[in-house]
Structure 1
Amino acid sequence: MRLTAEWPEHRPAVFGVAYRLLGSVADAEDVVQDVWLRASSADLSAVVDLRAWLVTVAARRSYDVLKSARVQRENYVGPWLPEPLLTGPDAAEPVLVDESVTTAMLLVMEALSPPERVAFVLHDVFGISFDRIAEVLGGSVPAARKLASRARRRVVEARESAPTAPRAERERLLVAFRAAYQTGDLAGLVELMHPDAVYTTDGGGEVFAARKLIHGGLRIAEVLLRVGRQWSLSGIDIVEVGGEPALVAYRDGRVHSVDTVEITDGRISAYRRQLNPRKLRAVTFARP
């Protein structure tokens, strides 16, 4: 059967488009299951490009979920951060990795309207034609082009305002940050933080977390150390999340938080901590 033979090759793309659109590993897995069921019952004999067909079906389903999720996000408790996606050697299965799966870029896309996000991800990331995109969105090809162009402009603006630091620099800063954090070195942490840094935590109302952004390197360092002393962590590991190094903290043998950063001028300018246990289920198999 064609689908059975080619599914392992195309599944990463199906999952990839769903995750980029929804920012949720759990929701993306549900979409993958839906696409498999839809494809299993469909006549694929006339389908020339199976990958494009599967990706389009995944996008259409994700678009429906995304529109309803926007309403849920309005009632979300505290700041929203995407669900961490393990990549690299820690990933449970092959994952398509590029800049569009980083926490920073997913937050940029979260600010787009659902149609803009679909048009951008399908065209700029997966190379899907605008006629297919128009079918997904229920509009015209010119409208789909305009949506993708508008989204692309905002993505470029975000890249220019916060250029991605080299991987080696990110790893060096995270190693230094972990050492200062574990030893309670306030001065060391402040030195690593940008003076205008912003700290975001996502507890989703499930666990205690700051419901407002915290600004300033000194203030953030003080909060991190104070909270860290209360948690009594059992360890911190550096793991690849969304194609970038991230900090995974453990408590009582379980993943307690996943922290990602942005770097500006050699310092951490954005520190983002995922605490929502519902969003940490996919990283429970990370190395202890």
Structure 2
Amino acid sequence: MSNRSGPGCDRTDPAPAAVMSERRRLINLAYRMLGSLAEAEDAVQETYTRWYAMPRNQQDAIEAPGAWMTTVASRICLNLLGSARARRETYVGDWIPEPLPGHTEWISGRPSGAAVDPADRITLDESVDLAFLVVLESMTPAERVAFILHDVFCHSFAEVAEIVGRTPAACRQLASSARRRIRTARPAATATSAVQQAVVVRDFKRAWEAKDIDALIGLLDPDATAVADGGGLATTFLRPLEGGERIARAWAEIARRRPDTMTFLERTVNGRPGVVAEQDGAIVTVFAFEVTGDRIKHIWVVRNPEKLRHWTSSATGR
């Protein structure tokens, strides 16, 4: 398999001495495949463990170390996706992909306040939009891996076939099926610019803090849904809320019950405008939004502390 960079597809194979520089690309790849930064880090660590476990002569015999690492990391992710489905059947409440802080707010494996290495940052684009990741969760493991490798990271179907263990034609069908799921869930006609999204989310936050139910209803699509993920480790609603009016009243109640030490802040969530709840210097909740037109269609609420560790470190490091 030839090594390609994604998104973009314009890098060449690295020399063996530059193997560590592959980390950012592998994290990008694994996060999109798994929807969990913690699992992505584990998958990439396992990839490096396998690389360094090889004798030097075997390493030197590999013409494209980056391609080798892509193949290994992708196969690890494919296996993890299969087992993740079984684990999530026993998950308390709904499982939402792990949200990422915006750009420089995410620092991987560094003490608070340490300098940021650009190679340690996730590349934020549409393919890590939380709404997009939620759609990926509806795919089979093979569909997801084939789609991410081909459509996001620009590998050929022959290369994808080597990883997935199917024919190139079968991989083409997998990617095509994945695209249909995305088109069905996210029609292009409803696309909203980041600036428009920011305005709607800001207005929602202000109405929320003012406990203005009518204003909240006006900002929510009548068929809006809200899904929360506490993982059994934080209190939240266990079943999705449906309907703009119902969500508005629930959010007004949240505002009424919030502790005096809690504040709502505008933050970038997976490259999109969002809101976080901060209490005693720590991020305790992340709110991600999907905006269509001038209305909020979906809200995702992440309260599972295991999915907020990068948010907590970025808050304490300010």
Normalized against structure 1, the TM-score is what?
A: 0.92
Mapped to 2, the partners of 1:163 and 1:265 lie a distance apart of 6
Which of 284, 290, 295 is the equivalent residue of 1:262? Answer: 290
**What secondary structure sits across from 2:25 in the alignment?**
helix
CA deviation vs aligned residue, 1:75-104 (integer Å, no higher than 9, x gap)? 222111101122323122321222111111
- Is the contact between residue 90 and residue 239 of structure 1 (CA under 8 Å) also seen in structure 2? no
> 1:175-194, aligned counterparts within 5 Å?
175-194=202-221
Structure 2 residue aligned with 1:35: 47
Distance 1:229 1:85 in 2: 27
SS of the residue aligned with 2:266? strand
Aligned partner letter, 1:44: Q
Query: What residue is the counterpart of 1:63 in the other structure?
Result: 78
1:162 deviates by: 7.1
After superposition, residues 200-279 of structure 1 pair within 5 angstroms as: 200-232=227-259, 234-279=262-307
Instruction: Say which is worse superposed, 64-73 or 246-255, in terms of deviation.
Output: 246-255
1:124-139 correspondence to structure 2 within 5 Å: 124-139=151-166
Change (3 A) 1:274 1:50: same
Question: Once structures 1 and 2 are overlaid, which stretch shifts more, 155-164 or 209-218?
Answer: 155-164
Is the Cα contact below 8 Å between 2:99 and 2:269 reproduced in 1? yes
**Corresponding letter in the other structure for 1:214:** L
Change (3 A) 1:3 1:49: closer
Is 1:7 the counterpart of 2:35? The answer is no
The aligned amino acid for 1:279 is K
Alpha-carbon shift at residue 167 of structure 1 (Å): 0.5
For residues 128 and 41 of structure 1, what CA distance do their matches in structure 2 show?
27
Q: 1:72 maps to what in 2?
A: 87
Aligned 8 A contact 1:231 1:251 in 2: no
Report the CA distance shift for 1:185/1:51 in structure 2 as closer, same or farther (over 3 A). same
Partner residue of 1:21? 33
Letter in 2 for 1:169: Q
Q: Distance in 1 between matches of 2:71 and 2:270?
A: 23
What amino acid sits opposite 1:221 in the alignment?
A
Question: C-alpha deviations, 1:231-262, integer Å up to 9, x for none?
Answer: 31522222222111211111232111101111
Q: For residues 165 and 65 of structure 1, what CA distance do their matches in structure 2 show?
A: 33
How far apart, in 1, do the equivalents of 2:67 and 2:204 lie? 42
| Inter-CA distance 51–97: structure 2 relative to 1 (3 Å threshold) | farther
Q: Distance in 1 between matches of 2:101 and 2:70?
A: 21
- Which shifted more, 49-58 or 277-286? 49-58
How far apart, in 1, do the equivalents of 2:38 and 2:129 lie?
17
Say whether the 8 Å CA contact 2:190–2:293 is kept in structure 1: no
3-state SS, counterpart of residue 150 of structure 1: helix
1:117 offset after TM fit, Å?
0.5
Percent of pairs with identical residues: 38
Shift of 1:3: 4.1
How many residue pairs match? The answer is 287
Structure 1 residue 265: Cα displacement: 2.6
Distance in 1 of aligned mates of 2:65 and 2:251 = 48
Identify the range of structure 1 (242-251 vs 50-59) with the bigger mean alpha-carbon deviation.
50-59
- The offset of 1:68, in angstroms, is 0.4
Partner of 1:112: 139
1:87 corresponds to which of 102, 109, 124? 102
CA contact (8 A) 1:194 1:269 kept: yes
- List runs of 5+ in structure 1 lacking aligned partners: none
AA of the residue aligned to 1:53: W
Matched, 1:168 2:180: no
